[in-house]
Amino acid sequence: GTIRTLESPQGAWVQIGGKKYLNLCSNNYLGLCNDPRVVAKVKEYTGKFGVGPGAVRTIAGTMTPHIELEEKLAAFKGTEAAIVVSSGFAANLTVIPTLAGGADDVIFSDSLNHASIIDACRLSRARVVRYEHSDMQDLAKKLGENRDVKGRRLLITDGVFSMDGDIAKLPEIVELCEAHGVIVAVDDAHGEGVLGRGGRGIADHFGLHGRVDVEIGTMSKAFGVMGGMAAGSAILVDYLRQKARPNLFSSALTIPDVAANIASVEILQESEDLVKKLWANGNLLKKELASLGFDTGASETPITPVIIGEAADAKAFSAKLFERGVFATAIVFPTVPRGTARIRAMVSAAHSEDDLRFGVGQFAAVGREMGIIS
Ligand SMILES: *Cc1c(COP(=O)(O)O)cnc(C)c1O
């Protein structure tokens, strides 16, 4: 498809080709991408520390802002420690091959896990056992079948599945894994800043503090910046620091990224308002679209899929929305199964109720024009 170029900051509205569009497709859940407090922190820290880290963390790239960010993230998540790497993608490469990297090791992986998890599993030399998406019977069966393996066993799941907005059944997963002595890792990319008290993530959402071995996260979504993290016990995080190849062989995160992330965690620590606004907006959009007759799937989060069916129809729908001032991309096979092509509407705390009502009006008009709703 067409890749649009934004001529403005990421926000509720964006400029493309000189015109304004309602933005319903970014992961900027809390509107922090262009928050003045975040921008100010970047100016302050670049004034003091410059821009580049100049080295990998283990040689000369660890600067006081990196430590400050890691301490703030661990305090926010309620874990003993956290390590920061360059992206969420790199965070999976940091955790998965390091914890399950031997030929005798086994990784249990949800069939709908994110591409970066799939790649990290491939890069480890472990045997990968896929279980059906969120199917706890299938998981229990596969854990049982692999009870006697010699090596380490690791389970990895997305926290929030980004195409449908459903949440992993983490309480059941943790119980099963505890019974089988399997390490639990959850990639909370779409849950960080969204789920739990004040956006503390999926472990907090389910009250599973101390029972999830590693929480993997990204700061490219709700945090509005860039960077990945892994949070857990001090021993585990220290092990990752010493062994994980993205930490040993890829340079430290830049100062502007680190500073912006520090500001974002501080904003989240101070108040739950943005997270509450995000959920209120998500609930409003879902309710309005469903009452018009659209199929909005079974999302449990602010992610709002509008399932159209055929790929060509979803693309036409997106193009017609664009003509009407709404930027919302179509998602088609192979990202989602055939016949379930959709517009995935992403709200943010930055949207006003009027913004969303404008968007709903355009969805209604295009839906009627295409005969999808009556
Ligand atoms: C977006 C996403 C990532 C990648 O994060 P980046 O910081 O953009 O590299 C990893 N895992 C999941 C589940 C994601 O949704």
Q: pLDDT for 303-335, tens place per residue?
A: 999 999 999 999 999 999 999 999 999 999 999
Count H helices, E strands: the chain?
A: 13, 15
Asked if the model's pLDDT at residue 338 lies above 80, the reply is yes
Q: Ligand 1 site: residues with CB under 6 angstroms?
A: 87-89, 114, 116, 158, 162, 187, 189-190, 218, 220, 228
Asked whether the predicted pLDDT for residue 70 surpasses 70, the reply is: yes
Q: What percent helix, strand, coil does the chain show, rounded to 5?
A: 45, 20, 40
Q: Which atom, in ligand 1's list, is nearest to the CA of 162?
A: 15
How many angstroms is it from 116 CA to the middle of ligand 1? Answer: 7
pLDDT of residue 1: 65
Q: Measured in angstroms, how far is the CA atom of residue 86 from the centroid of ligand 1?
A: 11
Name the strands in the sheet holding 330-331, side by side, starting at the edge strand that comes first in the sequence.
304-309, 341-345, 330-331
Cα(88) to centroid of ligand 1, in Å? 5
User: For the segment 185-238, what is each residue's pLDDT rounded down to a tens digit?
Assistant: 999 999 999 999 999 999 999 999 999 999 999 999 999 999 999 999 999 999
User: For residues 369 and 1, what is the distance between their CA atoms, to the nearest angstrom?
Assistant: 22
pTM of model > 0.85: yes
Mean pLDDT across the chain, nearest whole number?
A: 97
Which residue's alpha carbon is nearest to atom 1 within ligand 1?
Answer: 189
How many other CB atoms are there within 10 angstroms of residue 25's CB atom?
20
Ligand 1 atom 7, closest CA: 88
Looking from the CA of residue 190, the nearest atom of ligand 1 is: 15
- Which percentage of the chain shows pLDDT scores above 70? 100
Report yes or no: 229 and 217 within 8 Å, Cβ to Cβ: yes
Q: Could you read off the pLDDT of 8-24 as tens digits, one per residue?
A: 999 999 999 999 999 99
User: Which residue's alpha carbon is nearest to atom 15 within ligand 1?
Assistant: 189
Report which of 160, 222, 219 is spatially closest to residue 348, judged by C-alpha positions: 222
| pLDDT, average across residues 147-172 | 97
DSSP-based three-state secondary structure for 331: strand
Q: Return the active site residues.
A: 162, 190, 221
Token code pair at residue 136: 């706890």
Is the pLDDT score of 78 beyond 90? yes
